[in-house]
Amino acid sequence: MPLARPVVLGNWKMNGLKADGLALVGRLAARAAHPSGTLGVFPPATLIGPVAQRLSASRILVGGQDCHQAESGAYTGSISAAMLADAGATAVLVGHSERRHGLGEDDALIKAKAEAALAQGLLVVLCIGETEAEYLAGERDLVLTRQLDHGLPEGATPENLVVAYEPVWAIGTGRTPSLDEISETHSRLRGLMAERLTGGAEVALLYGGSVKAENAADIMSLEAVDGALVGGASLDADGFWSIYTAGGGA
Ligand code: 13P
């Protein structure tokens, strides 16, 4: 079965120590241990174990923010998909722009990471998005098509893959594309996914980039938007919950 909608995922990035991370997920679990949609948190790697344990009686997903493409080996500082799963994660983000642009990850590497994650049974959240220069040059569609063509993992299905469209220039800036632009981009992505995967039209498509309680309802009411990938606003349990309910979750 494809994931229950809305799909609202919180990427904590490099934020959170044990006490506040556990308090945050405790407040979320108190709201809905068994959410009607798909609700997930992506804490820093150090907190995956404790957060997964805290949420073990709930259906709130816990995921990693990245994984290495190899199963194990001499890769100092890296974490494999098997390690994420072992710590209690059931999902992982790959291709986040802060890794593409901050750390030079390319589509081939992102695809390898996604395939390593699928091999461990993790739900892959593949992040794609154009930079501001690409947006201004009218290259958005070209970039997104390239990122999908080279980054989509073999073996992806609507059950094990989510695609998150995050324009790089909208991340952490308070700026978002217009609703018409989001709608147009997501409809295009829906078509691309349908062409590239069996059942691809069922893959959940999330919007990410400056999603807040104030704009979440408008964005998630767009027909081609199945949910949101939330950064800063996911660090507050009440705010994150408001975003989830704005998308129709309970
Ligand atoms: P913000 O919601 O802070 O803009 O971050 C979005 C993001 O990068 C989620 O992965």
Distance CA 243, CA 227 (A): 9
Number of domains in the chain: 1
Which residue of 230, 234, 244 sits with most ligand 1 atoms within 8 Å of its CB, as the best mutation to test the pocket? 230
Q: Is the CB of 10 under 6 A from ligand 1?
A: no
Q: What is the pLDDT of residue 33?
A: 87
Neighbours of 201 (CB within 10 A): 14
Q: Is the CB of 232 under 6 A from ligand 1?
A: yes
- CA trace torsion 143, 243, 98, 199 (10° rounding): -40
Helix (H, G, I), strand (E, B) or coil at 113: helix
Structure tokens that stand for 64 in this block: 């990693």
pLDDT at 1 over 90: no
Quote the domain boundaries for residue 111.
7-90+106-121+140-178+196-246
Q: Cβ-count burial of 187 within 10 angstroms (0-12 exposed, 13-18 middle, 19+ buried)? A: middle
CA of 208 to the centre of ligand 1 (A): 6
Inter-residue contact 182 to 176 (CB < 8 Å): yes
Mean pLDDT of 116-129: 98
How far is Cα 250 from Cα 246, in angstroms, rounded to an integer?
9
In a domain, 96, yes or no: no
Write out pLDDT tens, residues 15-62: 999 999 999 999 999 998 899 999 999 999 999 999 999 999 999 999
Residue 157 scores a pLDDT above 90:
yes
Asked whether residue 12 is assigned to any structural domain, the reply reads yes
Q: Which atom, in ligand 1's list, is nearest to the CA of 233?
A: 2
Locate tokens 């324009």: which residue?
167
Note whether residue 126 is domain-resident.
no
pTM of the model: 0.98
Whether residue 48 is contained in a domain is answered as yes
- What is the percent of the chain where pLDDT is above 90? 98
96 assigned to active site: yes
State the pLDDT confidence band at 69, using cuts at 50, 70 and 90.
very high
User: Which of these is catalytic: 96, 115, 134, 202?
Assistant: 96
Would 113 be classed as within a structural domain?
Answer: yes
Structure tokens, 166: 């995050």
Determine whether 166 is an active site residue: yes
CATH number of the domain to which 164 belongs: 3.20.20.70
Calculate the average pLDDT of the chain: 97
Which one-letter DSSP state was computed for residue 33? S
Residue 11 lies in a domain: yes
Give the residue among 158, 156, 125 at the shortest CA–CA distance from 2: 158
Determine, yes or no, domain membership for 238: yes
| 135 inside domain | no
Is 94 in a helix, a strand, or coil?
strand
Do residues 187 and 195 touch, judged by C-beta distance below 8 A? Answer: no
Split at pLDDT 50, 70, 90, the class of 172 is very high
